[in-house]
A = this chain, B = another copy of it.
Amino acid sequence: MQNRSEELVHELGRKIVNGEYLPGEILPKAEVLSEMHGVSRTVVREALKGLATRKLIRSNQRSGTSVLPRAMWQWWDIDVLTWIIEDENNSDFILHLTDVRLGLEPMAAALAAKRATDQDHVKIKACFEKLEQSVGDERAWAKADFEFHQSILHASYNDLMIGTIQSLHKALIISREKTFHAVKEYADPTFDSPTKEVLDRHRAIYEAVLARDEDLARQKMTDLILRVKRLLEEIYVS
Protein backbone atom coordinates (compact mmCIF):
# COMPACT_ATOMS: atom_id res chain seq x y z
CA MET A 1 0.00 0.00 0.00
CA GLN A 2 1.46 3.27 -1.11
CA ASN A 3 -0.37 5.95 0.82
CA ARG A 4 -3.12 6.44 3.35
CA SER A 5 -5.94 6.98 0.90
CA GLU A 6 -5.08 3.70 -0.85
CA GLU A 7 -5.14 1.95 2.50
CA LEU A 8 -8.54 3.39 3.24
CA VAL A 9 -9.81 2.39 -0.20
CA HIS A 10 -8.89 -1.20 0.54
CA GLU A 11 -10.39 -1.13 4.00
CA LEU A 12 -13.71 0.33 2.88
CA GLY A 13 -13.76 -1.64 -0.36
CA ARG A 14 -13.40 -4.90 1.50
CA LYS A 15 -16.19 -3.97 3.89
CA ILE A 16 -18.53 -3.18 1.02
CA VAL A 17 -17.75 -6.36 -0.89
CA ASN A 18 -18.21 -8.64 2.10
CA GLY A 19 -21.45 -6.97 3.07
CA GLU A 20 -20.51 -4.99 6.17
CA TYR A 21 -21.87 -2.03 4.25
CA LEU A 22 -24.85 -3.19 2.17
CA PRO A 23 -26.06 -1.76 -1.15
CA GLY A 24 -28.31 1.22 -0.48
CA GLU A 25 -26.77 1.86 2.91
CA ILE A 26 -25.33 5.30 3.68
CA LEU A 27 -21.72 5.43 4.77
CA PRO A 28 -20.71 7.54 7.77
CA LYS A 29 -20.12 11.10 6.64
CA ALA A 30 -16.65 12.12 5.59
CA GLU A 31 -15.87 13.88 8.84
CA VAL A 32 -16.79 10.79 10.88
CA LEU A 33 -14.80 8.44 8.63
CA SER A 34 -11.90 10.80 9.05
CA GLU A 35 -12.06 10.44 12.83
CA MET A 36 -12.76 6.69 12.70
CA HIS A 37 -9.62 6.01 10.70
CA GLY A 38 -7.41 8.75 12.08
CA VAL A 39 -6.83 10.52 8.78
CA SER A 40 -7.69 13.93 7.43
CA ARG A 41 -10.85 14.65 5.51
CA THR A 42 -8.72 15.13 2.38
CA VAL A 43 -7.57 11.51 2.58
CA VAL A 44 -11.13 10.32 3.15
CA ARG A 45 -12.31 12.25 0.12
CA GLU A 46 -9.61 10.79 -2.09
CA ALA A 47 -10.43 7.30 -0.88
CA LEU A 48 -14.12 7.84 -1.60
CA LYS A 49 -13.18 9.07 -5.07
CA GLY A 50 -11.35 5.81 -5.60
CA LEU A 51 -14.41 3.80 -4.59
CA ALA A 52 -16.72 6.01 -6.63
CA THR A 53 -14.59 5.41 -9.74
CA ARG A 54 -14.98 1.69 -9.14
CA LYS A 55 -18.73 2.31 -8.92
CA LEU A 56 -18.97 0.84 -5.43
CA ILE A 57 -20.41 4.08 -4.02
CA ARG A 58 -21.99 7.32 -5.14
CA SER A 59 -21.79 10.62 -3.28
CA ASN A 60 -24.60 13.12 -3.09
CA GLN A 61 -24.64 16.42 -1.31
CA ARG A 62 -26.83 16.49 1.73
CA SER A 63 -27.91 12.82 1.43
CA GLY A 64 -24.43 11.42 1.84
CA THR A 65 -22.57 8.63 0.04
CA SER A 66 -24.38 5.36 -0.49
CA VAL A 67 -23.30 1.88 -1.54
CA LEU A 68 -24.32 1.03 -5.12
CA PRO A 69 -25.90 -2.29 -6.14
CA ARG A 70 -23.56 -5.09 -7.21
CA ALA A 71 -24.79 -4.82 -10.79
CA MET A 72 -22.99 -1.48 -11.12
CA TRP A 73 -19.63 -2.48 -9.72
CA GLN A 74 -16.52 -2.38 -11.91
CA TRP A 75 -15.88 -6.09 -11.78
CA TRP A 76 -12.71 -5.98 -13.83
CA ASP A 77 -10.90 -3.64 -11.50
CA ILE A 78 -8.08 -5.72 -10.04
CA ASP A 79 -8.77 -4.51 -6.51
CA VAL A 80 -12.48 -5.30 -6.72
CA LEU A 81 -11.60 -8.75 -8.04
CA THR A 82 -9.17 -9.22 -5.17
CA TRP A 83 -11.69 -8.20 -2.52
CA ILE A 84 -14.31 -10.54 -3.97
CA ILE A 85 -11.97 -13.50 -4.22
CA GLU A 86 -10.67 -12.95 -0.69
CA ASP A 87 -14.21 -12.84 0.66
CA GLU A 88 -15.35 -16.21 1.92
CA ASN A 89 -18.93 -15.65 0.77
CA ASN A 90 -17.82 -15.68 -2.84
CA SER A 91 -16.03 -19.00 -2.95
CA ASP A 92 -17.90 -19.93 -6.12
CA PHE A 93 -16.84 -16.75 -7.90
CA ILE A 94 -14.01 -18.68 -9.46
CA LEU A 95 -16.62 -20.75 -11.31
CA HIS A 96 -18.18 -17.58 -12.69
CA LEU A 97 -14.76 -16.42 -13.78
CA THR A 98 -14.25 -19.72 -15.52
CA ASP A 99 -17.43 -19.30 -17.54
CA VAL A 100 -16.25 -15.90 -18.72
CA ARG A 101 -12.88 -17.43 -19.46
CA LEU A 102 -14.61 -20.11 -21.48
CA GLY A 103 -16.18 -17.37 -23.56
CA LEU A 104 -13.09 -15.27 -24.12
CA GLU A 105 -9.99 -17.40 -24.33
CA PRO A 106 -11.15 -19.71 -27.13
CA MET A 107 -12.13 -16.59 -29.07
CA ALA A 108 -8.70 -15.08 -28.44
CA ALA A 109 -7.09 -18.30 -29.66
CA ALA A 110 -9.20 -18.23 -32.81
CA LEU A 111 -8.22 -14.61 -33.46
CA ALA A 112 -4.57 -15.51 -32.91
CA ALA A 113 -4.86 -18.34 -35.44
CA LYS A 114 -6.23 -15.80 -37.89
CA ARG A 115 -3.97 -12.83 -37.24
CA ALA A 116 -0.62 -14.09 -35.95
CA THR A 117 2.34 -12.83 -37.93
CA ASP A 118 5.39 -14.94 -38.71
CA GLN A 119 7.15 -13.26 -35.81
CA ASP A 120 4.29 -14.24 -33.53
CA HIS A 121 4.65 -17.84 -34.73
CA VAL A 122 8.31 -17.83 -33.82
CA LYS A 123 7.50 -16.48 -30.36
CA ILE A 124 4.67 -18.96 -29.78
CA LYS A 125 6.86 -21.84 -30.91
CA ALA A 126 9.60 -20.81 -28.50
CA CYS A 127 7.09 -20.60 -25.66
CA PHE A 128 5.72 -24.03 -26.39
CA GLU A 129 9.19 -25.54 -26.40
CA LYS A 130 9.86 -23.97 -23.00
CA LEU A 131 6.65 -25.63 -21.87
CA GLU A 132 7.79 -29.02 -23.17
CA GLN A 133 10.97 -28.73 -21.16
CA SER A 134 9.05 -27.87 -18.01
CA VAL A 135 7.00 -31.04 -17.65
CA GLY A 136 7.24 -32.23 -14.06
CA ASP A 137 8.66 -28.99 -12.69
CA GLU A 138 5.87 -27.12 -10.94
CA ARG A 139 7.56 -23.72 -10.79
CA ALA A 140 9.07 -23.73 -14.25
CA TRP A 141 5.77 -24.90 -15.69
CA ALA A 142 3.77 -22.11 -14.07
CA LYS A 143 6.05 -19.52 -15.64
CA ALA A 144 6.20 -21.20 -19.06
CA ASP A 145 2.45 -21.77 -19.05
CA PHE A 146 1.81 -18.10 -18.34
CA GLU A 147 4.10 -17.00 -21.13
CA PHE A 148 2.68 -19.51 -23.60
CA HIS A 149 -0.84 -18.22 -23.09
CA GLN A 150 0.48 -14.67 -23.17
CA SER A 151 2.17 -15.20 -26.53
CA ILE A 152 -1.07 -16.46 -28.07
CA LEU A 153 -3.11 -13.74 -26.43
CA HIS A 154 -0.84 -11.06 -27.84
CA ALA A 155 -1.34 -12.41 -31.35
CA SER A 156 -5.07 -11.73 -31.11
CA TYR A 157 -4.31 -8.05 -31.74
CA ASN A 158 -7.32 -6.96 -29.74
CA ASP A 159 -6.34 -4.65 -26.87
CA LEU A 160 -9.69 -5.03 -25.13
CA MET A 161 -9.48 -8.81 -25.25
CA ILE A 162 -5.87 -8.77 -24.10
CA GLY A 163 -6.57 -6.46 -21.18
CA THR A 164 -9.60 -8.43 -20.05
CA ILE A 165 -7.93 -11.82 -20.18
CA GLN A 166 -4.88 -10.44 -18.40
CA SER A 167 -7.10 -9.23 -15.56
CA LEU A 168 -8.75 -12.63 -15.56
CA HIS A 169 -5.40 -14.37 -15.21
CA LYS A 170 -4.39 -12.03 -12.40
CA ALA A 171 -7.60 -12.97 -10.61
CA LEU A 172 -6.80 -16.66 -11.07
CA ILE A 173 -3.37 -16.13 -9.57
CA ILE A 174 -4.88 -14.39 -6.56
CA SER A 175 -7.40 -17.18 -6.18
CA ARG A 176 -4.63 -19.71 -6.41
CA GLU A 177 -2.65 -18.02 -3.67
CA LYS A 178 -5.70 -18.02 -1.48
CA THR A 179 -6.73 -21.65 -1.97
CA PHE A 180 -3.15 -22.88 -1.96
CA HIS A 181 -3.13 -23.72 1.71
CA ALA A 182 -6.88 -24.13 2.14
CA VAL A 183 -7.30 -27.04 -0.26
CA LYS A 184 -4.11 -29.02 0.03
CA GLU A 185 -5.67 -32.38 -0.60
CA TYR A 186 -6.70 -31.34 -4.10
CA ALA A 187 -4.33 -30.01 -6.67
CA ASP A 188 -5.51 -26.53 -7.61
CA PRO A 189 -7.09 -26.91 -11.03
CA THR A 190 -7.13 -23.17 -11.65
CA PHE A 191 -3.81 -23.50 -13.36
CA ASP A 192 -2.68 -26.32 -15.53
CA SER A 193 -0.56 -29.01 -13.97
CA PRO A 194 2.78 -29.99 -15.47
CA THR A 195 1.79 -33.43 -16.74
CA LYS A 196 2.29 -35.05 -20.13
CA GLU A 197 -1.46 -35.15 -20.76
CA VAL A 198 -1.87 -31.42 -20.19
CA LEU A 199 1.15 -30.73 -22.34
CA ASP A 200 -0.53 -32.56 -25.22
CA ARG A 201 -3.57 -30.33 -24.83
CA HIS A 202 -1.29 -27.33 -25.16
CA ARG A 203 0.37 -28.90 -28.16
CA ALA A 204 -3.00 -29.18 -29.86
CA ILE A 205 -3.63 -25.47 -29.35
CA TYR A 206 -0.14 -24.59 -30.46
CA GLU A 207 -0.42 -26.61 -33.65
CA ALA A 208 -3.85 -25.24 -34.49
CA VAL A 209 -2.66 -21.65 -34.16
CA LEU A 210 0.41 -22.25 -36.30
CA ALA A 211 -1.76 -24.02 -38.87
CA ARG A 212 -4.00 -20.91 -38.89
CA ASP A 213 -6.97 -23.17 -38.17
CA GLU A 214 -9.33 -20.84 -36.29
CA ASP A 215 -12.01 -23.35 -35.43
CA LEU A 216 -9.57 -25.97 -34.25
CA ALA A 217 -7.73 -23.44 -32.08
CA ARG A 218 -11.03 -22.36 -30.56
CA GLN A 219 -12.02 -25.97 -29.93
CA LYS A 220 -8.73 -27.04 -28.36
CA MET A 221 -8.66 -24.02 -26.06
CA THR A 222 -12.23 -24.82 -25.06
CA ASP A 223 -11.19 -28.38 -24.26
CA LEU A 224 -8.39 -27.17 -22.05
CA ILE A 225 -10.56 -24.81 -20.02
CA LEU A 226 -13.46 -27.27 -19.81
CA ARG A 227 -11.11 -29.68 -18.11
CA VAL A 228 -10.36 -26.98 -15.52
CA LYS A 229 -14.04 -26.26 -15.11
CA ARG A 230 -14.90 -29.88 -14.42
CA LEU A 231 -12.20 -30.17 -11.78
CA LEU A 232 -13.43 -26.96 -10.15
CA GLU A 233 -17.01 -28.20 -10.12
CA GLU A 234 -15.89 -31.37 -8.40
CA ILE A 235 -14.41 -29.28 -5.63
CA TYR A 236 -17.02 -26.59 -5.17
CA VAL A 237 -20.36 -28.09 -6.10
CA SER A 238 -19.92 -31.25 -4.10
Q: Is A117 an interface residue (CB 8 A)?
A: no
Which residues of A (16-61) have their CB < 8 Å from a CB of B? 42, 45-46, 49-50, 53-54
Chain B residues lying within 8 Å of A163, measured Cβ to Cβ, are 71-75
Chain B residues lying within 8 Å of A97, measured Cβ to Cβ, are 160
Which of A97, A158, A166 is packed against the most chain B CB atoms within 10 Å? A158
Report the bound CA distance from A74 to B158 in whole Å. 14
**Chain A residues with a Cβ closer than 8 Å to the other chain, count:** 36
A156-176 vs B, Cβ < 8 Å mask (1 yes, 0 no): 001111111010000000000
Report the bound CA distance from A149 to B76 in whole Å. 22
Min distance, Cβ A168 to any Cβ of chain B, angstroms? 9
Residue of B nearest to A158 (CB): B96
10 further interface pairs, Cβ-Cβ under 8 Å (given A49-B53, A76-B76): A42-B45, A50-B53, A71-B162, A71-B163, A75-B76, A75-B159, A75-B160, A76-B164, A99-B158, A103-B104
A–B pairs, 27, beta carbons within 8 Å = A5-B49, A42-B42, A42-B45, A46-B46, A46-B49, A53-B54, A71-B159, A71-B162, A71-B163, A71-B166, A72-B163, A73-B163, A74-B74, A74-B76, A75-B76, A75-B164, A76-B164, A96-B158, A96-B159, A99-B107, A99-B111, A100-B164, A103-B103, A103-B104, A103-B106, A103-B108, A164-B164
**Cβ-defined contact, B96 with A160, below 8 A:** yes
Which residues of A (100-147) have their CB < 8 Å from a CB of B? 100, 102-104, 106-108, 111
Report the bound CA distance from A166 to B93 in whole Å. 18
Report the bound CA distance from A70 to B160 in whole Å. 10
Report the bound CA distance from A102 to B110 in whole Å. 11
Chain B residues lying within 8 Å of A233, measured Cβ to Cβ, are none
Report the bound CA distance from A160 to B77 in whole Å. 11
Min distance, Cβ A114 to any Cβ of chain B, angstroms? 10
Which of A45, A100, A102 is packed against the most chain B CB atoms within 10 Å? A100
Report the bound CA distance from A163 to B54 in whole Å. 12
Known: A53-B77, A71-B162, A159-B71. A100 touches B107 (CB 8 A): yes
